[in-house]
Amino acid sequence: MEILLAKNAGFCFGVKNAMEKALKASEEEKNVKTLGPIIHNPDAVRLLEEKGVCSLNSVEDVGEDDTIIIRSHGIGKGEYEILKSKAMKVIDATCPYVKNIHNIVEKNFKNGYKIVIIGDSEHPEVKGINGWCDNEAIIIKDIDGVVEDNFKNQRVCVVSQTTFNAKKWHEIACKIIALTKEALIINTICSATEIRQKETEDISKKVDLMIVIGGKNSSNTRKLYEISKENCNNVMLIENANELNIEKIKQFNKIGITAGASTPQFVIEEVMNNLVSISNEDKITNDVFEKNKL
């Protein structure tokens, strides 16, 4: 059995930074809480819970003794101000790439541009971005969402969810350009996403079975799953090693592994160890374990 592990599988820079800040705070501060689950991965959330860090649903639940961690997805300006006034301490773990989108949106909204976000309106990152233009953005997730009347004679500033699919983004952006008077288009898709999607595409073309590891509520993991399905007839989406179907896996000779940007290294490692135990190989090495160890 041959196993190909994507070089950049697992935590991206922004998620790793947020996890590290949360773990450090759990040792140094009291009443540490995250606003929403720190990342879309149940194993990572469980790890923090074991260290006493729980997750709050909204800023309304914040108490005056709390230390609040803002996760990598970021939050809107209004929520940020409430948080600052209510909590004892705020640790901002918003990914710098997401923070950059907040700055672009705030500045161009003030300058009179209509803000357009290409992304999923239900995703917390998109909700957060919308909170930097008084929640007035047009949010579009597919080409049919580009309705002519919303764009005619408008000056628009277009940004995107960092994990949005690059091909779809291009399609939507081109249609917007054709309809508007003035369009300021800024591609804010994160390269970490593109790299993971490209690697997944390359590997899934070469293997008989593709295993995608990540939270089922993680949008970037689901995108890796969709890309794998376009190129490989057999794809498994698993949250962790407990969901591995070993008997089925034994039927395949060449297996590809990838993992979403919110999948912790210890989860990938456990899956790999299980696969090594049923393959002929003694050990499977990859820089990924050293680079992202947590």
Binding footprint of ligand F3S on the chain (CB under 6 A): 12-15, 72, 95, 97-98, 162-163, 190, 192-193, 261
- Nearest-approach distance from CB 159 to ligand F3S, in angstroms: 12
Long-range contacts formed by 135-138: CB under 8 A, 24+ apart:
135/76, 136/109, 137/105, 138/114
- Nearest-approach distance from CB 73 to ligand F3S, in angstroms: 7
- Nearest-approach distance from CB 18 to ligand F3S, in angstroms: 7
262 labelled binding-site residue: yes
The answer to whether the beta carbons of residues 206 and 230 sit under 8 Å apart is: no
Closer CB to ligand F3S, residue 79 or residue 125?
Answer: 125
- Number of Cβ within a 10 Å radius of residue 258: 30
220 labelled binding-site residue: yes
Catalytic hit among 79, 125, 199, 239: 125
Q: Which amino acid is at 132?
A: W
Question: At 64, is the secondary structure helix, strand, or coil?
Answer: coil
Closer CB to ligand F3S, residue 180 or residue 188?
Answer: 188
Distance CA 237, CA 244 (A): 9
Quick one: CA torsion of 168, 171, 174, 178, rounded to 10 degrees? -130
> Closest-CB residue for ligand F3S?
14
Closer CB to ligand F3S, residue 108 or residue 193?
Answer: 193
73 labelled binding-site residue: yes
Q: Is 125 a catalytic residue?
A: yes
Q: Which two tokens stand for residue 45?
A: 């959330």
67 labelled binding-site residue: no
Distance CA 197, CA 225 (A): 10
Closer CB to ligand F3S, residue 67 or residue 197?
Answer: 197
223 membership: H or E segment, kind and range: helix 219-231
What does the H/E/C string look like for 196-219?
Answer: HHHHHHHHHHHCCEEEEECCCCCH
102 labelled binding-site residue: no
- Nearest-approach distance from CB 269 to ligand F3S, in angstroms: 20
Q: Which residues are annotated as a binding site for [4Fe-4S] cluster?
A: 12, 95, 190
Q: Which residues are annotated as a binding site for isopentenyl diphosphate?
A: 40, 73, 123, 218-220, 262
Catalytic positions, please? 125
Q: Which residues are annotated as a binding site for dimethylallyl diphosphate?
A: 40, 73, 123, 218-220, 262
